[in-house]
Amino acid sequence: MGLTQEQLHKVLHYDPDTGDFWWKEKKSGRHMTKPAGGKSGRYLQIQLWKGAQFYAHRLAWLYVYGTWPPECIDHSNGDGLDNRVANLRLASKKQNARNAKKGKNNTSGYKGICFDKGKQKWMAKTCKDYKQIFIGYFDCPKQAHEAYVNKIKELHGEFANGGAGE
Cβ proximity of 32 and 24 under 8 Å: no
**Which residues, given as ranges, of the chain have pLDDT below 70?**
1, 164-166
CATH number of the structural domain spanning residue 125: 3.30.730
The pLDDT value given to residue 165: 40
Cβ proximity of 43 and 56 under 8 Å: yes
In a domain, 163, yes or no: no
The pLDDT value given to residue 83: 97
Residues 70 and 49 in one domain: yes
The pLDDT value given to residue 166: 39
The boundaries of the domain holding residue 69 are: 5-94
Separation in Å, CA 84 to CA 4, 47, 50, 57, 81: 20, 19, 26, 8, 9
In a domain, 164, yes or no: no
pLDDT digits (tens, 9 = 90+) for 4-39: 999 999 999 999 999 999 999 888 777 788 999 999
